[in-house]
Amino acid sequence: MSGKLSYASLQQAARWYVLLQDDPPSAQVQVQWLQWLDQHAEHRAAWQYVQRVGKRLAPLQDEDRQLATRALEVHGERQLSRRQGLKSLVILGAGTMLGWGTWRGTALPRWVDGWRADYSTGTAQTRETVLADGTHLWLAAISAVDADYGQAQRRLRLHFGEILVDTANDAANRPFVVDTGQGRLRAAGTRFAVKQWEGTTQLNVYRGAVEICTAGSGERRVLEAGQRMAFTHRALGEVATAQTAGESWVRHVLMADDMPLGQLVETLSRYRHGYLGCDPAIAELPVMGAFPLDDTDRALRLLAAALPVKVQRLTSWWISVESA
Amino acid sequence: MHRLYADHHGWLQAWIRRRTGCSQRAADLAQDTFLRVLSARAKGIAVYLEQPRAYLATIARGLVVDQWRRQQLEQAWLDTVAAHPGAVQASPEHSALILETLHEVDAMLRGLPGKVRRAFLLVQLEGLPHRVVASQLGVSDRMVKKYLAQALVHCAVLEAELDGLLVE
């Protein structure tokens, strides 16, 4: 299948499929559908993909289908109740659940989709929420967070992805902490962003101060407003100037201020379905500018205009940024 | 890669065995894990190796979860068949085909909300009319159409992504 295939075309194809499937469609609907198909090669390609979904079911014979549906429903319900079961056990007492504890010990990979988390987002989604104490929490795309408010402390656990936190004053004066796979962050009256990926946590502090304590080595360091640091579970990194990018995604803008191209492309890929990657040879190119996260096609055009790079599209689902 | 294998293969196999309680399966899954790493490298994906064991464990865990889901699904199918004694007995080959298809469908629908998933199954798989599904789910006819379109787009995107990967 060549060239262009947009998400919008797939949506249209799916709508037609649903319309044509129900009862006998009117002649008018059929004519309109044929006209739509005729309009673009892209429409025909999208139609084929939607049809192919139906073909996945083809190995099932008519007499299997009712049982197959039941089995999938039973399976779905069991999965759901297992998830809920796990969650309530965690609330009852995570300390006794050794296996579960180890399970959560390392950063969860993307494909787990954060289904166990209290708050999570998928590709191209962001989420804003207000926690019980009035603290504001924003999740960037592909992120998962658990909130665990106890008598002694208010605790967030970032499984993966990126969050922005604006803490509220707590009537009970409980400390506010964020745990990642690499360490614990302790905050007071602050606004800060935390990002976790590939064994690294990055902290940006925008107001107040946050103390880092690494999980492995127990090293501590307080970051003030306007500072950032990346650290692993063993070692703290260098103190640098806070990146506006850690806050700007809340407004659907990626502010690149001397950001390596590789990091920028990786961030864009979280806001786009399909594969989007960057040639390692140019991943270190520094980029300045404001890129829209809600229109990644435009962001890629801006990138190609501003830098000596070209955007290679094998299909609209497979895009790589390469040296021009 | 050779080094990675030599240093961590034994550890990984033991790690999986502790989780699955089966040494044959642990051997298979450990092998699959290293294959994943190899193919990721072949695709030019940077493999993070500062903590190789954490990385390997992450991949292995995915495979264990996948296999675990497969078993759960197989159990759900057997239970369903047992609960419907009148149903036609399928040959072992045909049963295997059914299970493989169920697994594909289950993987395809993963991540969709419950009602969207049910609407898709009842219409696409069982072949019920939209209005019947609407009353079963307690939603409007229009909502069912919306659910179906949502599920179809979700699956079609996966199909298209699959092609994107195959283009390579």
Tell if the CB–CB gap between B76 and A78 is shorter than 8 Å. yes
| pLDDT of res. B146 | 94
> How far is CA A286 from each of CA A264, A282, B127, B163, rounded to the nearest angstrom?
10, 9, 55, 32
In this prediction, residues A146-157 reach a mean pLDDT of 91
Cβ contact A213:A183 at 8 Å: yes
ipTM computed for the complex: 0.72
| pLDDT of res. A96 | 28
Cβ contact A146:A118 at 8 Å: yes
Give the residue with greater pLDDT, B50 vs A194: A194
pLDDT exceeds cutoff 90 at B61: no
Average pLDDT, chain A: 80
In this prediction, residues A61-89 reach a mean pLDDT of 72
B165 contacts on A by Cβ (under 8 Å): 275, 318
Percent of chain A with pLDDT over 90: 30
**Block residue for tokens 């950063």:** A107
Q: What is the pLDDT of residues A236-265, one digit of tens each?
A: 999 999 988 889 999 898 988 888 898 899
The Cα A140–Cα B84 span in angstroms is: 46
Give the residue with greater pLDDT, B141 vs B22: B141
- Residue in chain B closest to A9 (alpha carbons) equals B153
Q: Which of A49, A197, A275 is the best residue to mutate to test the B interface, defined by the most B CB atoms within 10 Å of its own CB?
A: A49
A230 contacts on B by Cβ (under 8 Å): none
Distance from CA of A151 to the nearest CA of B (A): 33
Tell if the CB–CB gap between A317 and B164 is shorter than 8 Å. yes
Distance from CA of A11 to the nearest CA of B (A): 6
| pLDDT of res. B134 | 93
Q: What is the pLDDT of residues B73-88, one digit of tens each?
A: 888 888 888 877 766 6
A274 contacts on B by Cβ (under 8 Å): 157, 160-161, 164
In this prediction, residues B29-47 reach a mean pLDDT of 73
Give the residue with greater pLDDT, B92 vs A236: A236
Tell if the CB–CB gap between A18 and B152 is shorter than 8 Å. yes
Give the helix/strand (H/E) hosting B165: helix B141-167
Tell if the CB–CB gap between B44 and A198 is shorter than 8 Å. no
> How far is CA A12 from each of CA A1, A23, B149, rounded to the nearest angstrom?
18, 19, 9
Three-state secondary structure of chain A: CCECCCHHHHHHHHHHHHHHHCCCCCHHHHHHHHHHHHHCHHHHHHHHHHHHHHHCCCCCCHHHHHHHHHHHHHHHHHHHHHHHHHHHHHHHHHHHCHHHHHHCCCCCCHHHCCCCCCEEECCCCCEEEECCCCCEEEECCCEEEEEEECCCCEEEEEEEEEEEEECCCCCCCCCEEEEECCEEEEEEEEEEEEEEECCEEEEEEEEEEEEEEECCCCCEEEEECCEEEEECCCCECCCEECCCHHHHHHHCEEEEEEEEHHHHHHHHHCCCCCEEEECHHHCCCEEEEEEECCCHHHHHHHHHHHCCEEEEEEECCEEEEEEC
Q: Which of A29, A53, A65 is the best residue to mutate to test the B interface, defined by the most B CB atoms within 10 Å of its own CB?
A: A53
| pLDDT of res. A201 | 94
Tell if the CB–CB gap between B121 and A69 is shorter than 8 Å. yes
Distance from CA of B82 to the nearest CA of A (A): 10
pLDDT exceeds cutoff 90 at A130: yes
Tell if the CB–CB gap between B149 and A109 is shorter than 8 Å. no
| pLDDT of res. B43 | 63
- Residue in chain A closest to B52 (alpha carbons) equals A199
| pLDDT of res. A322 | 85
In this prediction, residues B139-158 reach a mean pLDDT of 91
In this prediction, residues A98-105 reach a mean pLDDT of 25
Lookup: tokens for B69: 């889901």
- Residue in chain A closest to B48 (alpha carbons) equals A198
pLDDT band of residue B139 (cuts 50, 70, 90) is very high
Range with top average pLDDT, A61-75, A194-208, A302-316, B57-71: A194-208
- Residue in chain A closest to B73 (alpha carbons) equals A75
The Cα A268–Cα A150 span in angstroms is: 36
In this prediction, residues B112-134 reach a mean pLDDT of 89
Q: What is the pLDDT of residues B102-115, one digit of tens each?
A: 888 888 888 788 89
Cβ contact A94:A108 at 8 Å: no
- Residue in chain B closest to A50 (alpha carbons) equals B156
B148 contacts on A by Cβ (under 8 Å): 14, 18, 21
Phi/psi for A135 (5° steps) reads -65, 135
Q: What is the pLDDT of residues A16-33, one digit of tens each?
A: 888 887 666 677 777 788
Tell if the CB–CB gap between B102 and A71 is shorter than 8 Å. yes
- Residue in chain B closest to A63 (alpha carbons) equals B88
Select from A231, A203, A200, A208 the least CA-distant residue to A218.
A231
| pLDDT of res. B163 | 63
Tell if the CB–CB gap between B161 and A317 is shorter than 8 Å. yes
Closest CB to B149 among A14, A198, A317: A14
Give the residue with greater pLDDT, A205 vs B24: A205
